[in-house]
């Protein structure tokens, strides 16, 4: 499986992905094997069904939303680059990267981008605000069935109230960042991709 998969991935592609995402060479080839094993249709791209075949993801309360996050706006297929771009958000932040290249723009795994990724899980309609309904939907998925609607509503109200500084009864991205300022997001949202 290893050698056949990597032969479909060209060296230039690997270099580009490396520059864009910051993954190392071996990490990229390993993740490509994974991509390939998920790709049952063997067409070089993953569809939603391919993701849904992962058993543990099916029982994850936020499974659908996570899958959605891989697919760019309005598309049904994601290629390897898109796959890696999404995964790049979860790379651990390393100290020696911080001073690398200020002109290259913010790396995908910066704190801001990590938080933006999480924010987009709530904000389905992409209006840069988490409305009460969007929050309720996510809460319902996470908390389960044995809570009444009013109680869930009060929890949602309280969540918005704690974050809302401009009184629009929605959570904007900056308010979201403020709420999570005490949480160690860089550590929480990182996976150790094996070298």
CB of 140 to another protein, least distance (A): 11
Q: Which is nearer to another protein, 107 or 138 (CB)?
A: 138
- Long-range contacts made by residues 100-108, C-beta under 8 angstroms, separation at least 24? 107/22, 108/20, 108/21, 108/22
Residues near 132 by beta carbon (within 8 Å), at least 6 away in sequence: 156, 157, 160, 169, 170
Report how far apart, in Å, the C-alpha atoms of 100 and of each of 16, 95, 103, 104, 106 are: 17, 10, 9, 9, 11
Among 49, 162, 165, 169, binds another protein (CB under 8 A): 162
Q: Return the residue of 158, 165, 169, 174 that touches another protein, per CB under 8 A.
A: 158
Q: What kind and span of H or E run contains 156?
A: helix 149-163
Least CB distance to another protein at residue 89 (A): 9
Site string for another protein, 74-113 (x = CB under 8 A): -------------x--x-x---------------------
CB of 6 closer than 8 Å to CB of 69: no
By CB under 8 A, residue 53 contacts another protein: no
Q: How far is the CB of 87 from another protein (least distance, A)?
A: 7
133's tokens: 């309904």
The interface region with another protein, picked from 12-20, 73-81, 100-108, 177-185 by CB under 8 A, is 177-185
DSSP string, 37-70: HH-TT-SSEE-HHHHHTSHHHHTSTTHHHHHHHH
Chain residues binding another protein by CB under 8 A are 31, 34, 37-38, 51, 54, 56-57, 59-63, 66, 70, 87, 90, 92, 118, 121-122, 138-139, 142-144, 146-147, 151, 154-155, 158-159, 162-163, 176, 179-180, 182-185, 187-194
């Amino acid at each position: 499986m290893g050698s056949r998969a990597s032969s479909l991935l060209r060296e230039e592609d690997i270099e580009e992905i490396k520059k864009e995402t910051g993954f190392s060479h071996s990490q990229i080839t390993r993740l490509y094997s994974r991509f390939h094993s998920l790709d049952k249709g063997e067409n070089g791209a993953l569809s939603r069904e391919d993701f849904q075949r992962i058993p543990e993801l099916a029982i994850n309360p936020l499974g659908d939303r996570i899958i959605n996050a891989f697919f760019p706006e309005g598309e049904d297929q994601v290629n390897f680059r898109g796959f890696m771009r999404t995964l790049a958000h979860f790379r651990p932040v390393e100290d020696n990267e911080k001073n690398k290249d200020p002109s290259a723009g913010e790396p995908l795994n910066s704190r801001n981008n990590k938080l933006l990724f999480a924010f987009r899980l709530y904000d389905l309609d992409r209006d840069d605000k988490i409305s009460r309904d969007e929050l309720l939907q996510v809460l319902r998925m996470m908390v389960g069935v044995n809570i009444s609607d009013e109680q869930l509503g009060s929890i949602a109200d309280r969540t918005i109230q704690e974050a809302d500084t401009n009184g629009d009864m929605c959570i904007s991205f900056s308010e979201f960042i403020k709420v999570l300022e005490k949480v160690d997001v860089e550590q929480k949202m990182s996976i150790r991709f094996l070298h």
